[in-house]
Chain A
Amino acid sequence: MDDIINISSQLGRGLGITITILIASALFAYLMGFIAGLSRLSKNVFLRKFTGLYIEIFRGTSLIVQLFWLYYAIPMLFGIDLGSNWVIGVIAIGLNYGAYLSEVVRGSIISVAPGQYEAATALNMSSTQRMRLIIFPQAVRMMLPEFGNYTIQMLKGTALVSLIGLNDILYYGDILRSSNLSQAPLIYIVVLGFYFLLALPLIFATRKAEEISKKGVAS
């Protein structure tokens, strides 16, 4: 028991990085998801194709490859040093899951019943009003569970930032393991426990979201 407390207090030092990376990259990914998802439905061919390219590239390759690639490419291509790997971690996770979320956004919007579009048009709404007042509120309810699922995926993805030198939970776990190999099983179980505790609220939120999205609008 003492060991667990000892390990936990060491791992706790990485909690801040894991949580801030998760929150920042989740917000970034939601934003990218909406921007890219709506762009995919745009009338502008160039915008549609360009967004399609972004989505295919980020969904077609691994997060770990993207993370390493951005880690080396950003300073090289743009000649700038972002100053911290934290930003690179957030950008990589955000762009990756933004691409996945954009498909959720697009899918939900096109699955709103055609009658809703027709009704909005019949009521003489502009296309912006139609999207904002009629389509979007219905589509968002359908998106919620998938947003929850992908947020859990993002939490799992944050463990990768230890590979670019950020001091997250896993980083401190690895440090502990390298100094005391015989404790490795306990250390990694506590590490997994930390991630699970962080995931629990997301799991419950996702279940709640599933209930909300299943419930009829009229009720």
Chain B
Amino acid sequence: MNYWSWERFSDALPYVLSGLGTTVMVTLSSFLFALLFGLVWTFLRRIPNRGFNWTITWIMEFIRSTPPLVQLFFIYYAWPVIPVVGMTLSPFASAVIGLGVHFSTYIGEIYRSGIESVGQGQWEAAKALNFSLIDKWRRIILPQAFPPTVPMLGNYFIIMFKEVPLASTIGVTGILHMANSFGSQHFNLIEALTIVGIIFLALSYPSAYLIKKLELKLNNRY
């Protein structure tokens, strides 16, 4: 039976923290990827063709309702052996693509909800005032569609941050990976894992608070 040791705790702390940069980088990169790829889904779903729309909706549903862990394994282990398009990806790139694509399906829905929240009258007004397609989006729709999505996007940023440790399973050397490797060297994981938990709490709690503040600020705009 193993017992808690503060000595091991203080040994593990710098070791686990050395993975924090990677965890943050994966989070930022995959969030950026999801933000961009989310636009693709939103755009594809706006193409007015029932069959096409149905197909895109179900592809999104498929990606959204299957485990991101399996999707990571698919990209890391299976992608390289697919003929023609396959290529070997680093664990980092696999994690960014895997998590990015998975969460882009949620982000795409957020964009859509933002666009749909713009009142019908606004669309009609843009048409009545003879706005060009670009001006309509740039001056009427997006300035109104974007603010309500900010807190939702922020929440997904935090959710993605918490999913990033999945990438340790394919060898991304973030905090969970460092904790595991420390644990296997010292035959006890509990201190290192506790540190990982504390880091997550310490980072996700203030970010949630900031998002709440941001939400209040944006709601007060009008």
**Residue pair A188, B78 in contact (C-beta under 8 Å):** yes
Residues of B within 8 A of A76 (CB): 1-4, 190
Residues of B within 8 A of A63 (CB): 162
Most buried by B among A60, A66, A158, A192: A60
Instruction: Specify the main secondary structure of chain B where it touches its partner.
Output: helix
Residues of A within 8 A of B81 (CB): 181-182, 184-185
The interface-forming segment of B39-47, B48-56, B67-75, B87-95 is B67-75
Residues of A within 8 A of B74 (CB): 184-185, 188-189, 192
Instruction: Specify the main secondary structure of chain A where it touches its partner.
Output: helix
One of A60, A170, A182 near B205 (C-beta < 8 A): A60
The interface-forming segment of A37-45, A67-75, A119-127 is A67-75
Encoded as 1 (CB less than 8 Å from any B CB) or 0, chain A from 33 to 77 comes to: 000000000000000000000001100111111101100110110
The answer to the question of A79 belonging to the interface, with a C-beta cut-off of 8 Å to chain B, is yes
One of B163, B176, B188, B205 near A56 (C-beta < 8 A): B205
- Smallest beta-carbon distance A149→chain B, Å: 10
The answer to the question of A104 belonging to the interface, with a C-beta cut-off of 8 Å to chain B, is no
**With contacts A56-B205, A185-B78, A188-B77 known, is A72 near B162, CB below 8 A?**
no
**With contacts A62-B163, A72-B189, A185-B81 known, is A57 near B70, CB below 8 A?**
no
Q: Which chain B residue lies CB-closest to A153?
A: B65
Question: In the complex, what distance in Å separates the CA atom of A170 from the CA atom of B74?
Answer: 11
One of B69, B71, B190 near A160 (C-beta < 8 A): B69
One of A69, A182, A189 near B197 (C-beta < 8 A): A69
**Residue pair A156, B65 in contact (C-beta under 8 Å):** yes
The answer to the question of B178 belonging to the interface, with a C-beta cut-off of 8 Å to chain A, is no
Number of chain B residues close to chain A: CB under 8 A: 41
The answer to the question of B131 belonging to the interface, with a C-beta cut-off of 8 Å to chain A, is no
The answer to the question of B201 belonging to the interface, with a C-beta cut-off of 8 Å to chain A, is yes
One of B66, B71, B164, B205 near A199 (C-beta < 8 A): B66
- Smallest beta-carbon distance B208→chain A, Å: 8
**Residue pair A191, B70 in contact (C-beta under 8 Å):** yes
- Smallest beta-carbon distance A22→chain B, Å: 12
The answer to the question of A196 belonging to the interface, with a C-beta cut-off of 8 Å to chain B, is yes
The answer to the question of A82 belonging to the interface, with a C-beta cut-off of 8 Å to chain B, is no
**With contacts A68-B189, A68-B193, A185-B82 known, is A60 near B69, CB below 8 A?**
no
Residues of A within 8 A of B73 (CB): 170, 173-174, 177, 188
**Residue pair B166, A64 in contact (C-beta under 8 Å):** yes
The answer to the question of A27 belonging to the interface, with a C-beta cut-off of 8 Å to chain B, is no
Q: Which chain A residue lies CB-closest to B80?
A: A184
Residues of B within 8 A of A66 (CB): 197
Residues of A within 8 A of B70 (CB): 159, 170, 173, 188, 191-192, 195
Given contacts A56-B205, A160-B69, A177-B78, 20 further A-B contacts (CB under 8 A): A57-B201, A62-B166, A63-B162, A64-B165, A64-B166, A64-B176, A65-B176, A68-B189, A69-B193, A76-B190, A79-B1, A159-B67, A159-B69, A160-B166, A170-B69, A188-B74, A191-B70, A192-B70, A195-B67, A199-B65
Pull 5 A–B residue pairs with CB atoms less than 8 Å apart, ordered by A: A61-B204, A65-B197, A72-B190, A184-B78, A192-B70
Ranked 4 nearest A-B pairs via Cβ: A159-B67, A199-B65, A184-B78, A185-B78
